[in-house]
Amino acid sequence: MRHATRVNEVTGRLPTADAPAAQRRLCARLKRAGVTVNGGRPWDLQVHDERFFRRVLTSGTLGLGESYMDGWWDCAAIDQLVDRYFRSRIDRDGSRWINGVEWFDYLRSRFFNLQNRARARQVGQRHYDIGNDLYRAMLDPLMVYSCGYWKEADDLAAAQEAKLALAAVKLGLRPGMKLIDIGCGWGGMARFAAEHYGAEVTGLTISERQAELAREACRALNVDIRLQDFRELDEPCDRIVSIGMFEHVGYKNYRTFFEVARRCLPEDGLLLLHTIGGNEPVSYIDPWIDRYVFPNAMLPSASQLTAAYEGLFVLEDWQNFGPDYDRTLMAWHENFTAVWPRLSAAGRYDRRFRRMWEFYLKSCAGGFRARRHQLWQLVLSPRGTDGRYDSPR
């Protein structure tokens, strides 16, 4: 039986002294971020089950996300809620508690290589293989599942094409060049590079469903799509691109990634790395994201990246357009919401999945909006380009 909620419904007022301690504590923290439980603004939480408070205090973001999936609370604008929380910097003021879930994830990441070859395909099986019908409906026509470039774009399709074009120009792609796309997804970049720049492309993915659809999309082009771990790569090429894959590499394998790229590139080659980044070094990702969205994922920091490629590459360019991911995620959410009736009618996705996916897209959008997360494009060369490298923007 669902417990009766005991939350003071007067906007801006904290629970009374006789309210449970967990409720008082969490409400006080939220109030500092300008968020009121059962308030009337879009970013205020509407709590339906008083067990929510203790669950969040004992399990952190894992409890927050799971309780949303279970229907214990709602919020009209989760993206605004998360944005306000991170901008308040409550999690940086020294009062933040470390729960058992986070300690377990920290210790696990320290003692084990969670992204080794045996575990690498877990994210493919549990996330990218969910269903091509979902991703076809949510993404742009090229099915690019990474941050778009919205500098001059008005819609998702234009933003994704602009991002692919930006990467191609930064790499200096020309007809006949051999391009390796590490983490090719559904083949969007491979298809774009082959069609618009005449490149010969080899795309690598660890998702069987992605590989199937990518081969179909690129069947008339000079593109080879492989189901292959990046560590198995050892062949010459002119350029390497990796878009939205490095988040699955793991800090214990960062150096290996760059060593693999270096052994494949000639002295005048270039590597473009497009990745989400964090503001400080970590060894594990948010526990809810790890369990429900991207298992074994991790966001590199700037210092982790530079340490990993030092001695192997020269940095030619580093661009940050992290705020564009906020707009990309909200566009995906809009598409997902529009097609949900059709997806639900097919019987493959239930109400709990919908709430999980909503929480994922909108909470991540809030994180980018608050500049908690970044989106970086790095251009690296083995020994430095011959002359000045002028990067387009």
Asked if residues 222 and 201 have their Cβ atoms less than 8 Å apart, the reply is yes
Kindly list the catalytic residues: 364
The alpha carbon dihedral of 326, 370, 275, 98 has a sign of negative
> Which pairing describes strands 73-74 and 46-47: parallel, antiparallel, or unpaired?
antiparallel
CA 256-198-381 angle, 5° bins: 35
CA within 13 Å, CB half, 33: 25
- Backbone φ and ψ of 273, nearest 5°: -110, 120
CA within 13 Å, CB half, 120: 21
Q: What whole-number distance in Å separates Cα of residue 251 and Cα of residue 305?
A: 9
Q: What whole-number distance in Å separates Cα of residue 359 and Cα of residue 62?
A: 12
Q: What whole-number distance in Å separates Cα of residue 375 and Cα of residue 86?
A: 17
Q: What whole-number distance in Å separates Cα of residue 45 and Cα of residue 29?
A: 13
Q: What whole-number distance in Å separates Cα of residue 140 and Cα of residue 148?
A: 10
Q: What is the amino acid identity at position 364?
A: C
Token pair recorded at residue 113? 């290589």
The Cα-based distances of 379 to 167, 230, 270, 281, 320 in angstroms read 9, 19, 7, 21, 12
* Alpha helices (H) in the chain, listed in sequence order: 21-32, 51-69, 78-88, 100-111, 122-123, 132-138, 156-171, 188-197, 208-217, 254-264, 287-292, 302-309, 323-345, 351-369
- Radius of gyration from C-alpha coordinates of the chain: 22
